[in-house]
Amino acid sequence: MKNINITKKITQGMYVLTTKNGGCIVDAVSQVSAGDNPLIAVSIMKKNYTNELLKSNNKFAISILGKDVNPEIIKTFGFNSSRDINKFEKTETTKIEEIDVINNSLGYMICEIIDSIDNETHTVFIGKIIEADVFKEKEPMSYGYYQEHKEELLKVNTEKGKTAWICTVCGYIYYGDEIPDDFKCPVCGVPKELFKIK
């Protein structure tokens, strides 16, 4: 391959994917057909608990985040696992077609899963839109915008006496004076060298 970095020029967004019992932040979402019930493709890491949930659910929702989204939503859905916390307890949601959608978003699409494709790292789920609505006409947050602004978006009140380290790839924050040598980002898997002090 001459230069794989060209893929960074693909425009992606910031979304919360939810299903029964969990959800997570996703950036790889695409409308891949037209018609009355367009198809949506969304890709989720296999190590992600939401991937497991989707394999036993038949529906998911995509809530589209705006530039003005409360960053707590990104922290809750991006840097935690639904294995450990109930993400819906910390976030205002509305149940549509039995799925929780994020109130603090630009709107949502409810999709019925019709197919999926696996590779080594990810599963691409294909869903047919069965319901959708717009909550507000504001600018969506692109993945590029998030990457550029993640430090200010995720600004934290550092706990007393602890250093906050930010993952320069995904924005995950680690607290502690030193990062252990064998540490890997729990969200994106990169080593400690890619963390810097906030």
What is the contact surface with Fe ion in residues (CB under 5 A)?
Answer: 167, 169-170, 172, 185, 187-188
Please state the closest distance from residue 183 (CB atom) to Fe ion, in A: 11
Residue from 84, 33, 51, 65 nearest 145 by CA: 65
Query: What stretches of 15-142 show up as alpha helix (H) in DSSP?
Result: 49-55, 71-78
Amino acid letter, residue 188: C
Please state the closest distance from residue 194 (CB atom) to Fe ion, in A: 7
Task: Kindly tell me which of 96 and 188 has the beta carbon lying closer to Fe ion.
Answer: 188
Task: Kindly tell me which of 64 and 170 has the beta carbon lying closer to Fe ion.
Answer: 170
Q: Which helix (H) or strand (E) holds 149?
A: helix 143-153
Task: Kindly tell me which of 72 and 193 has the beta carbon lying closer to Fe ion.
Answer: 193
* Distant-in-sequence, close-in-space partners of 9: CB < 8 Å, separation ≥ 6: none
Residue 185 φ then ψ, to 5°: -55, 125
Task: Kindly tell me which of 39 and 194 has the beta carbon lying closer to Fe ion.
Answer: 194
- DSSP structural state of residue 159: P
Distance CA 87, CA 22 (A): 7
Please state the closest distance from residue 144 (CB atom) to Fe ion, in A: 17
Please state the closest distance from residue 47 (CB atom) to Fe ion, in A: 13
